[in-house]
Structure 1
Amino acid sequence: MTTMRAVVCVRAGGPEVLAVRELPVPAVREGWSLVRVWGAGLNRSELRTRQGHSPGVRFPRVLGIECVGEVAASTDPALPEGTTVAAVMGEMGRRFDGGYAEYALLPNPLLMPVTTTLPREVLAALPETYLTARGAVDALGVRAGDRLLIRGGTSSVGLAAASIARGLGAEVAATTRRAAKAAALTAAGVGHVLLDVGRDMPWTAGPSHVLDLVGADTVADSLRLVERGGTVCVAGSLSGWLLRDFEPIAMIPSGTRLTAFHSDDAKGSTATLQRVIDEVEAGAYRPNLDRVVALDELAAAHAYMEADRAAGKLVMLP
């Protein structure tokens, strides 16, 4: 095959700037491998890149910060043809073309070889979401008996974090702005679904940890909500990237900790991803799929994501 179908972001703008194009299959070069894409999860960061909020990204660009598939050709003997792999971040879909395509040429260090019997759409729902959720829960130090509040709970990372935290024995509350999404939270192991975090907090002492996936608009409030000496971890940016008028001494209570987890830190985490895959196969974690779309449906899927209609992961199968 010399050509492939891909979805190209032709310029910054709304979902309509995503166009299906016929492109040459990338040629393998030293240090890179060609991956036949089985599936790619959709992410809010791709939405922001499409809108023009990712500095340094030049259009046209094939978006997609993650994918799963099989090695079609490689310059690395440790990655023979046919190897099942996943890849996340590392400037995928930003500095070089990403997963919104039938093939992706990716740096060898990004490729995580895995073994699995999961369906392709389930496997594609895991890498970015579960590696981020696992990293954030670890950054918080969640343990059995802890009280975890997840803000932005019906995001794919929020649902994954709830599943992981419940598996650790923590009590979990999570927020959603839509009552219709409450069932998705309950199914993920959330014990307390909060439609208004300011009035219906289930714990008098407050949560011992807050995982804030909303980000810029809620960090200061999360610091007020967490118990004194607790930890807030910011691992999402549903409301944007920057904290405006943030005064650390005034806004961080004494002894309370503010940390973050960036999904770029998850790249190359082969052992962690394999453990997640094994736990999903064993039924310990849920994949939290909202819907599966084709390449031709990616523009509509971006509109669906931008309207905050998803409760879980959107996955594209080319």
Structure 2
Amino acid sequence: MHLPMQMKAMVLTGHGGLDKLEYRDVPVPALADGDVLIKVAACGVNNTDINTRTGWYAPSVKTALTEEIGLRGVSAEAQDLGSWDRASLQFPRIQGADATGTIVEVGPNVPRSRIGERVITDPCIRDARLPPLSQGILYFGSEYDGGYAEYTKIPSGNAVKITSTLSDEDLASFACSYSTGEEMLVRVNLQAGETLLITGASGGVGSALVQLAKRRGARVIAVGGKSKEQSIRALGADDFIPRERGDLFEAVTEIVGLREIDAVADVTGGPTFSQMLRVLRRAGRYVSAGAIAGPCPEIDLRDLIYKDLQMWGVGNPQASTFAALVGYIERGEIKPLVARTFALSELREAHTEFVSKKHVGKIVIKI
């Protein structure tokens, strides 16, 4: 196959508003040892794209990721802007963690038989020499150029072959959100018959969690915007609490009784965080993978201490989790939930739609 020298890409030129996204011609990536080149067909939009572009990951930012921040970025006065691991970024950068496409070329020490494979990208680039939960060293589309381009490169092990009749757009909705959700359930070891409380249940990770928890045979109590109740219940949620209600502790207690939640999967953080800990039973489990409603909530340590709670944070799913996810997709055990698609040149419009939080599921870019 003849490969072009140049390609179209949406390039992030710095921290800030939508104007930092520029649609331009850039060189097709050169392959290093162990890399593959993917002709991208589609790529999903994720919170990490917005967080990185706006500078919301900066430790000095204490507020929720509001629609205004999503459109304009954080204050230009912030001096500690960075990526998800608070490491400095190099610009320009191509974002996009959820690329789906076809391998069209391979670098040294990669079998040429991989050319032609349909793949999805495992966005967590790992150093296997490190302990299992410490292996994530780079994130595709963050510290490493990603999928908002006609072509992208990635280590061969992160280009995972998939056999599915789903469309490219559907496949591009899974990688980041669903692997994060599954890793959250792995960490809390969710079992059949247990009751799980899920916050932010209409978003990419939240909606994935509903499906993944039901796949495990758990009872799901989902929290989300009132207007999205029907869509969330359609995913399998057993009970629903409107976010607008506010009194989470009382609402949960009405459904299951006092402190009867086995685990909480939280992707929002914010002012209801302390109530999430209150609803947990003795030795209950809490796991977080997001804090867009507020990263610095109050905590009553007495809930943590005297109930012997267990808590986890998830930023880097394990390779085994991603491999399991691919199996679920291929066997049809989970389904995609694509709210809307945009062209690559329309990424600014896609970000605008994303931060409005009016959708359920994923927004996907068609390349």
5+ long unaligned stretches in structure 2: 58-82, 126-138
The reply to whether residue 81 of structure 1 matches residue 103 of structure 2 is no
Shift, 1:37, TM fit: 0.8
Describe how 1:9-158 pairs up with structure 2 within 5 A: 9-52=12-55, 53=57, 54=83, 55=86, 56-75=88-107, 76-77=110-111, 80-87=114-121, 88-90=123-125, 91-158=139-206
Shift, 1:267, TM fit: 4.6
Shift, 1:245, TM fit: 5.9
Question: 1:291 is matched with which residue?
Answer: 340
Shift, 1:310, TM fit: 2.2
Shift, 1:279, TM fit: 3.3
Q: C-alpha deviations, 1:140-160, integer Å up to 9, x for none?
A: 222222111101111111111
2-structure distance, mates of 1:288, 1:181? 13
Shift, 1:130, TM fit: 1.6
2-structure distance, mates of 1:261, 1:78? 35
TM-score w.r.t. structure 1 length?
A: 0.90
2:210–2:235: 8 Å Cα contact kept in structure 1? yes
Describe how 1:108-257 pairs up with structure 2 within 5 A: 108-176=156-224, 178-195=225-242, 196=245, 197-201=248-252, 202-205=255-258, 206-215=260-269, 217-239=271-293, 242-243=295-296, 248=301, 251-257=304-310
Question: 2:74 is matched with which residue?
Answer: none
Shift, 1:172, TM fit: 0.8
Residues 276/250 of structure 1: CA separation in 2 closer, same or farther (3 Å cut) = closer
Cα RMSD over matched residues?
2.1
2-structure distance, mates of 1:294, 1:266? 31
Amino acid at match of 2:342: V
1:66–1:89: 8 Å Cα contact kept in structure 2? no
Shift, 1:49, TM fit: 0.4
Residues 113/150 of structure 1: CA separation in 2 closer, same or farther (3 Å cut) = same
1:39–1:67: 8 Å Cα contact kept in structure 2? yes
| Other structure's SS at 1:237 match | coil
| Other structure's SS at 2:342 match | strand
Instruction: Percent identity, please.
Output: 28
The reply to whether residue 279 of structure 1 matches residue 331 of structure 2 is yes
For this pair of structures, how many residues does the alignment match?
Answer: 312
Amino acid at match of 1:60: P
Shift, 1:265, TM fit: 2.3
Q: C-alpha deviations, 1:81-108, integer Å up to 9, x for none?
A: 1112221132212222111111111122
1:49–1:57: 8 Å Cα contact kept in structure 2? no
The reply to whether residue 315 of structure 1 matches residue 349 of structure 2 is no
| Other structure's SS at 1:86 match | strand
TM-score w.r.t. structure 2 length?
A: 0.79
Indicate the larger mover: 245-254 or 8-17: 245-254
Residues 102/266 of structure 1: CA separation in 2 closer, same or farther (3 Å cut) = farther
1-structure distance, mates of 2:9, 2:153? 13
2-structure distance, mates of 1:101, 1:26? 10
Amino acid at match of 2:114: P
1:188–1:286: 8 Å Cα contact kept in structure 2? no
2-structure distance, mates of 1:269, 1:172? 21
Shift, 1:313, TM fit: 0.9
The reply to whether residue 303 of structure 1 matches residue 352 of structure 2 is yes
